[in-house]
Chains A and B, each alone.
Chain A
Amino acid sequence: MMSLAELLKAPGASLECEDDFDAVNALVRDRGWSDGLPVVPPTARRVEEMLAYCDRPWHEAVAKIPPRWGEATPLRLAANAVMAGCRPEYFPLLVLAVEAMCEEPFNLYGIQATTHLCAPLVIVNGPVAKELDINCGHNAFGPGWRANATLGRAIRLALVNIGGAIPGRGDMSTFGAPSKYSYLAAENEEANPWEPLHVEQGLPREASAVTVIGAECPHNVNDHESLTAEGILTTIAGTLIAAGANDIYYHQAQPLVVLGPEHAKTIADGGFSKADAKRFLHEHAQLPMRRFSKENIARRLRVTFKERLGGAGLDAPVHMVQRPENLLIAVIGGAGKHSAVVHTFGATKPVTRALTLRDGSYARSVADFKKSTPTPTLPLRGRENSENI
């Protein structure tokens, strides 16, 4: 494998800057290479530390990120991971998440360029979540955890710096959303009474995986009163109902229900499997067509669902999700009688991808993964004092 020193000799691969935090950040700001927050200077030494956790050639694209269709090479991803404040051991999950969101069914072009306010949400499953200390409990979608904050941010920086998601030019979101800074959490598998998300997607429990979802921010479901599965699910179904959600208008849309551990327990104690919960939610998350505007009935509902709603009366139900199995359910969070509904971009499918070793077997841990990565023959030396970007 080519060493970093050699790779950085390529035109445009690096640039010299004064070895000073403010100078580096002024340069990054001038070039628009940020989410607006200061970045950690991506020196050659820091980038090389990140690449110690990479098992591919550092200069070969693992994916192309729209709308610029920029090549996401490990070298570029590593620079963005450093800028975001990642620890090097997070790097395999960054590569994995970027690969997953560049798979065609995810429709990253749409998610990046749309006027909708979606962002890729990453849910981490399996043993690496604990190994990397990814928060799955209290405030899992919020601040306070380095892995959640910086891995999520590294994804955003890659989407901006490699993919060209520049507001008004490549990212046309009418508002954007706070989740565009960082949107990553682990599933609380210990509190999940059913199979975790990655197992439901066909992976073994001992695999570690990311699931990417083109998602809106979580919308809270407060239910402190219901004592039964049906009660909790009725409240969640009521929160899934949103006449302005994209999910209504796409046959394949897969909104996510995030169950808080206490709600999940109540539902499971009521004898509901995950599939039962999905069936209940599908059935109850509906509005009579008359609750939509006349124009939306005529121009969207009767057109999109011509067979079922084309000639139907105004009392015909409009389902928020088209089939029970389209719903995703994950258990995340700490104590409290809350769950969350996460609507999506609609024109997107979630993608789950497992962390594997080069021989195709599942990585048992990031430490395991690192052991299998090749070491470059000519390690970088003597550049620690210059800020290579």
Chain B
Amino acid sequence: MCELRRRGLASAVIVSEPFLELGKTQARVFGVPDLPLLPIPHPLGGLSLEEVEARARHALPQVLRLIEERAA
């Protein structure tokens, strides 16, 4: 993902909240500290399909905004 970001593509990591710090560290380590991290509620394990879809709905506007910003 960091490599895609470096190449200028719209890229982001969708991450559940407790993993934000780990995500920030990884982005910094790989030289793209501005890599967007799109937070969604924890957990991800043990979800019903409906709950997984709800997580996707939570992330979707953030993903769309990112693509629009990149296109602008």
Does B21 make an interface contact (CB < 8 A)?
A: yes
Does A170 make an interface contact (CB < 8 A)?
A: yes
- Contact assessment for B26 and A169 in the assembled complex, using a CB-CB cutoff below 8 Å: no
| Contact string against A for B residues 31-48, beta-carbon threshold 8 Å, 1 for contact and 0 otherwise | 000000000000000100
- Contact assessment for A172 and B19 in the assembled complex, using a CB-CB cutoff below 8 Å: yes
- Contact assessment for A68 and B29 in the assembled complex, using a CB-CB cutoff below 8 Å: yes
Does A168 make an interface contact (CB < 8 A)?
A: yes
- Contact assessment for A169 and B25 in the assembled complex, using a CB-CB cutoff below 8 Å: yes
Please give me the residue from chain A that is nearest to B20 by CB atom.
A169
Query: A168 to B19, alpha carbons, bound, how many Å?
Result: 8
Please give me the residue from chain A that is nearest to B46 by CB atom.
A295
The size class of the interface chain A forms with chain B is 10 to 19
Question: Which residues of A have CB within 8 Å of B46?
Answer: 295
The size class of the interface chain B forms with chain A is under 10
- Contact assessment for B21 and A168 in the assembled complex, using a CB-CB cutoff below 8 Å: yes
Question: Which residues of B have CB within 8 Å of A295?
Answer: 46
| Contact string against B for A residues 76-91, beta-carbon threshold 8 Å, 1 for contact and 0 otherwise | 0000000000000000
Does B72 make an interface contact (CB < 8 A)?
A: no
Question: Which residues of A have CB within 8 Å of B21?
Answer: 168-169
- Contact assessment for B29 and A113 in the assembled complex, using a CB-CB cutoff below 8 Å: no
Minimum C-beta distance from B71 to chain A (A): 32
Does A67 make an interface contact (CB < 8 A)?
A: yes
Question: Which residues of A have CB within 8 Å of B22?
Answer: 67, 113, 169-170, 172
- Contact assessment for B29 and A69 in the assembled complex, using a CB-CB cutoff below 8 Å: yes
Does B18 make an interface contact (CB < 8 A)?
A: yes
Does A260 make an interface contact (CB < 8 A)?
A: no
- Contact assessment for A67 and B19 in the assembled complex, using a CB-CB cutoff below 8 Å: no
In the assembled complex, 5 residue pairs joining A and B whose CB atoms fall closer than 8 Å, in A order, are A67-B22, A67-B25, A168-B18, A168-B21, A172-B19
3 interchain residue pairs of minimum CB distance = A169-B21, A69-B29, A68-B29
A interface with B by C-beta (< 8 Å): 67-69, 113, 164, 168-170, 172, 295
Given contacts A67-B26, A170-B25, 5 further A-B contacts (CB under 8 A): A68-B25, A68-B29, A169-B25, A170-B22, A172-B18
